[in-house]
A and B are shown apart, each in its own frame.
Chain A
Amino acid sequence: MARLTRRTFMKMAGLSAAALTMSDRLLMSRAAAQAGAADKEEVGYQICDACNGVPCCGIKFYKTGDIITRMEPWPGFPTATLCSKAYATMQRIYHPQRLKYPMKRTNPKGSPDPGFVRISWDEAYDITVGHMKRIGEKYGPHSVFFYVGDPKEPRAAVQRLAATYGSVNYGDESSVACRKGALTAEVLAFGYGTTGSPPNKDTKSLLVWGTNPPYSGPANDWQNLLDAKERGVKFIVVDPRNTPTATILADIHLQPRLNTTAALAAGMMHVIFKEGLHDEAFCSKWINGIDELKEYVKAFTPEKTEAITWVPAKKIVDAARLYAGNAPGGLKTSPQGTTHDLNAGNNHRAILMIPAICGYMDVPGGVEEPTNPLEGFGGGWANGPPAFCFRKKMDQMRPHRLDNKDFPAFAELNLDVQVNRIVEYIKEGKVKAFLGWGFNTMIWPQTHEYQKAIESLEFSMAVDFFFRPWTHNYVDLVLPGAVNFERIAPFAVHGRRLFGRTPVKPLGECREDWQIACEIGVKLGHPDIFFNGSAEGACNEILKLWNTSYDDLRKNQEKGVTVPPKRPNTYRKYEVGMTRPDGKPGFNTPSGKIEAVSLILKKHGLTALPEYKEGLKISKEYPLMLLSGGRVPYITHSKWRDDAPWLLELQPQPLLDIHPDDAAKRGIKKGDDLILKSEWGQVRVKAKPSVLVRPGIVGLMHGWAKANVNELVPRQFDPVTGYPPYKEVPVQVIKA
């Protein structure tokens, strides 16, 4: 078809050679590429990071070369009933929008287009470390803020980096909104953290407060509750929503108005004390401020409690009798659901007093505490092993914490700094740089204020799986993180069982979080402390605590390595000095007792009893209360949106749960476009009339970039935990 002439030939001469100089030599002979026959299928083992450190369900996968082709539950792994989220991690790893190379902005902050371009890792580290050194010298190392969002996996490595660099200002999503609020309340009350223990053969009743495991917990957790129900355990479920946990398990379901937790708990305790259903011997010996507590709850008659909480008085009485009359009773609380209001700390402390006055603490079938927590692990990956994370050095630097003045109780009890007032800290010039692993500005109330604050920093860096404009448009560098299948660190820990991971080669130039933290440490001049940048080296440093190594984990890949317990399981450990680090009997609180009157809160001038306090009030203009963050099974977190379209199919757009009565009053029908607004902001959503919520409450899942519910939430904070009122904002709903 081509007509060929001498002229054509002349034209072509040299073109081939010129074209060849352009070649990137993408193909090589197989010998040079060291490739043999077609790759055979092999197996590998990984953990799912969808729900983070807990439960980190086990995945067994099959790969050809470095390409994962299928997956199934890891046989024998403690948590391996894989749900949709775990399967969707396969969609995430091969998502066409995966961030695969370090990116640097080329347009100034504030430009509509940040103009990101690809750079090398060397350049990324040179920029990062250059700024860290410059800012450290000019303003002091505490002006560099280290932050870990989601996944929570890199916390230990980033804490080690912060400590080595010399900044005490490390925070995470737990210290913004998740676990540390409830944990603070638990430590104030008991001296240790607990969300209760799974019901067992000795359990007779269970108080489930503000949590809905079938939507947000691991599958085996829900199965465990169903089994308990079959055994005849009595369930009291407290949840403003009409959840499956309530409808399937509850003997009594209490649906309180939002932010009335402490009043409802006081109402239940009123009945328990009045009817003598409490454990007087335990109370008088082990509860600090028991008389003040008894006195305080006297006012919370069932009728008064009903008026505050909207829970019928009879149900309050019945619930108190059912729980206290079926001993021992267990407890199951949310890691955070009960702490998203302006009385968060005391609301949660009030819940904890109920099993305490019943004497259910650390008795068989009650609120059990493990006898043999893994030595030196320090509460798991949520905090990181203290020795590895240089906790002593961090403790010495405590006077430099940014949150000391704003949230003194939180600051005293937590390693992680309360981050929610970082806007002010940046404005005041106390923070100049921000290094964030998996951070999401949408976690914060009035998100736009945090975006502006981050943007105004002298330097900021983010590690992530994807480019997320609502966060990354405001930073200088974005580094590509390896996803769960591509990580070796951290290894999985279940009780005293340890399991290794077998990573595949990361896509593009992605690197795992631990490696990035370690490599920054090396570039700062600490190759020994950061294992020459090796994530496995860092893991081995921790595994030394239990005389094992990653090689051992590999040798025992499927069944893992068990660290033998040091003593047989026992109960009422507080009686024999097994609860306090000093070995004395009692709880690890200032008084040595469970503290109804908190000496720490008292010291800081905060309300010492777990008192009820009215928060934000509804009005004619904003007559409904917003409960944000309720979930859809099995999407769970704000991180799962476009990353895994399979999960997005479960709810492809922001839907507002609104009770059919409230919808009818406003002429709202399913699928209508709505405006949801508060005094502080508004978003557009679609209507989903549902009995999941009670009248007077509307619910919206968080984390929608196109309908960021946190723009409706004010920047007001509970003085104990520092948490914002995600679950008590007065709102109005109108048709768009």
Chain B
Amino acid sequence: MKKGNDTSSTALLGQFREAFYLLLSRAFSREPDQEMLKSAEQVSRGLLDAWELMELPSDPDVQAGKTLLETFFSELPQRNADELIEQLARQYAALFLGVGPKTVSLCESVYRSKFGLLYQSTLFDVQQSYREIGMAKSDHYREPDDHIAVELSYMARLCNMTREAASAGRAGRAQALQHLRLQQAFLKGHLLQWVPRFSQDLIVTAPPGFYRAFAHLLKGYIGIDGRLIDSMIQELNDTPRSKRSKKKVSSDRPATHH
């Protein structure tokens, strides 16, 4: 199978999942700009359509997020673009940057440490996960390593690496499986440990609109992604043993910028 022309379900799901993680990551990494909104509209519509086309299980949070986003994007043409961007920046600041009545932290440590603080031990675990695939948080991004946007970015990166490995044919299959297992481990060990609570906090705190929509989507998506990973693992495992690569999986393969 040629790279870039892979129509297997693993490849397609990989694409779908990577795009979903990238979308969610950008939703929370910083305030939106015009370009981001344009891409977010296109990508979210595409992904949610694909969700139905792929007949993925319906999920009340995904549905709620979809409805909120449809409303949000349908109102865009009537809105002054600059004003909208400023309004979203105000919402981002009020929700996440400590200037609103209630701050929702975007970082895992806050949800998982005894005293609800930033930069606690889970951050070191997350760093270790990044390190294992030859990555580190960019110094340009001034938020902690266990910020939701970075963690989602890690998952997107692994999706990409999985696709690349899988598209390399038999030789890359073991490596693809390894990448999927890392995703499963990170999902279970990190994202599922705090994102449901974080999303719920955000759903309750954010006004109806962009951030509440993405809180629902994040919560719904994280809830289902484990099954998507399992199905990809299963498909790779179902490939006749004789066709599988026996090559040992290396976890320190050279990584490219993401």
Contacts and interface: CB of A to CB of B under 8 A. Distances in A.
Chain A bound to chain B: yes
Nearest to A14: B46
Interface stretch (B37-45, B65-73, B186-194): B37-45
Contacts of B154: 27
Contact of A19 (B22, B138, B149): B22
Given A1-B228, A15-B46, A27 B39 contact: no
A303 to B, nearest CB: 57
B116 interface: yes
Interface in B27-67: 29-31, 36, 39-40, 42-43, 46-47, 49-50, 53-57
B29 A24 contact: yes
Interface stretch (B175-183, B215-223, B238-246, B250-258): B250-258
B208 interface: no
A645 B117 CA distance: 11
B12 A12 contact: yes
B131 A27 contact: no
A34 B39 CA distance: 31
Contact of A94 (B55, B120, B136): B120
B112 interface: no
Contacts of A18: 19, 39, 42-43, 46
A581 B92 CA distance: 57
Contacts of A97: 98, 103
A537 B222 CA distance: 49
A16 B93 contact: no
B156 A23 contact: yes
Contacts of B149: 24, 26
Contacts of B90: 106, 113, 115-117
A456 B92 CA distance: 27
Task: Determine the main DSSP class of A at the interface with B.
Answer: loop
Interface string A21-46: 11111111110111100100000000
Contacts of A38: 124, 127-128, 131
Interface in A591-617: none
Nearest to B252: A30
Interface string B123-143: 110011011001111110111
B169 to A, nearest CB: 19
A358 B184 CA distance: 80
B210 to A, nearest CB: 14
Interface string A1-25: 1111101110110111011111111
A101 interface: yes
A3 B16 CA distance: 13
Given A9-B12, A33-B138, A95 B128 contact: no
10 smallest A-B Cβ distances: which pairs?
A: A19-B19, A33-B136, A96-B105, A19-B22, A94-B117, A2-B54, A35-B136, A117-B89, A22-B26, A94-B118
Interface of B: 7, 9, 12-13, 15-16, 18-20, 22-23, 25-26, 29-31, 36, 39-40, 42-43, 46-47, 49-50, 53-57, 86, 89-90, 92-94, 97-99, 103, 105, 107, 109-110, 115-120, 123-124, 127-128, 130-131, 134-139, 141-143, 147, 149-150, 153-154, 156-157, 227-228, 230-231, 254-258
22 contacts: A1-B57, A1-B228, A2-B55, A4-B7, A9-B12, A11-B49, A18-B19, A19-B20, A25-B257, A25-B258, A26-B137, A27-B136, A27-B150, A27-B153, A28-B137, A29-B255, A33-B135, A35-B131, A94-B119, A96-B105, A98-B118, A116-B97
